[in-house]
Amino acid sequence: MSRAFLVVMDSVGIGGAPDAADFGDAGANTLAHIAAECAAGRAEVGRSGPLRLPHLDGLGLGAACRLASGAEVPGLTAAPSGRWGAATEVSRGKDTPSGHWELAGVPVPWDWTYFPDTQPAFPEALVAEVCRLAGTAGILGNCHASGIPIIERHGAEHLRSGWPICYTSADSVFQIAAHEESFGLDRLIALCAALAPSLHAMKVGRVIARPFTGQVGAFQRTANRRDFAIAPPAPTLLDWAASAGRMTHAIGKIGDIFSHRGIGRLHKGKDDLALFDHLDRLVAEAEPGSLTFANFVEFDSLYGHRRDVAGYARALEVFDSRVGTFLTRLRPGDLALFTADHGNDPTFRGTEHTRERVPVLAAGVGAGEIGLCAFTDMAASVAAHLGIPAQGPGRSFL
């Protein structure tokens, strides 16, 4: 029986979303702009020269970017040897749940709740509920912020008072940062879990636990992050596969994003390299007929949000080297599908995701242009490859 590997390169957008201006993102292009900075010699930290992604480009990454946006992609000029195209999202969001759910066949049918970019950002009733659940007299933060700066700003007071650091972003999220030792990791996770149902009822997409360690001047976030995401509104590709009796493997954040629905086995790791070790193991061990769904988050979390062009380029090149080995281990009949969930252009203003089309790169199913397609077409295509019924609106491009 055929196997499928759906691999999400978190935030590796390729520009060209037709509604980008509605999100304030006209002109954003994560991949093309990184490639341009590399070619101009402005991304030389830890790497050097033009962007080098021979394996992903060989599947059609550069061609997909040119199709999506018309942009030139310096260094990515290979003639594609895989199936390639570009996908457009219809959900009214540029966040992790929207992108992943739609990739799995379920567009988001509602408008997310976003907190205003004011201080305070959160309604008094929500703050009171956090305090009640945490057993504290107040919270810190209560604003839009990025994770590292707000921990640096409020970390000392957090250690003194024990109050949780609460913040949000342009995404539909409520994030709580707390020290693993002084506040307690289990206490932080329990707080987020208890708070999540009321925020989900408000159509806030995720409650995120952001634990950190260290002392003032040397705080570090840890790998013990937990996302409590609102459940998808309909069965997803994972549910379709599980209902058909197929084993499903979730690598990285996939379990959290899908509220652990339709997941047979979960594979976590401290970083993307550890997650790729799981992918390499599963390409050797995964059961016939199985689905492996993987998310590689560090492009987004470590480099996109921090607007670190050289770091993003370096991560792409390391990932590409692992892809090369992975592709040689595919079995006859396997499908490997590489894509993304949104953009996060490190050359763009601000620190948030960018509304972009995403690449569609398929290995194991021949060569040729897929063209422009929908996010949901990826779920339909994986289902068709596995020979299971698809329940979403997508159409297979296989």
Which residues make up each annotated binding site for Mn(2+)?
10, 300, 305, 341-342, 353
Annotated binding site: 10, 300, 305, 341-342, 353
Pull the structure tokens for residue 222: 């840890």
CB burial string 271-282: b at 16+ within 10 A, e below: ebeebbebbeeb
Q: 57 pairs with which residues across the strands?
A: none
Give the helix/strand (H/E) hosting 6: strand 4-9
Q: How far apart are CA 182 and CA 366, in angstroms?
A: 55
Cβ count near 46 (within 10 Å): 12
Q: How far apart are CA 303 and CA 298, in angstroms?
A: 7
CB burial string 208-240: b at 16+ within 10 A, e below: bbbbbeeeeeebebeebbbbbbbebeebbbbbb
Q: How far apart are CA 333 and CA 366, in angstroms?
A: 11
Cβ-contact 361, 381 below 8 angstroms: no
Taken in order 175, 176, 180, 185, the sign of the CA dihedral is negative
Torsion of CA 189, 194, 196, 200, to 10 degrees: 170
> CA nearest 78: which of 49, 64, 58?
58
> CA nearest 380: which of 343, 335, 330, 342?
335
Q: How far is CA 93 from the centre of its chain?
A: 13
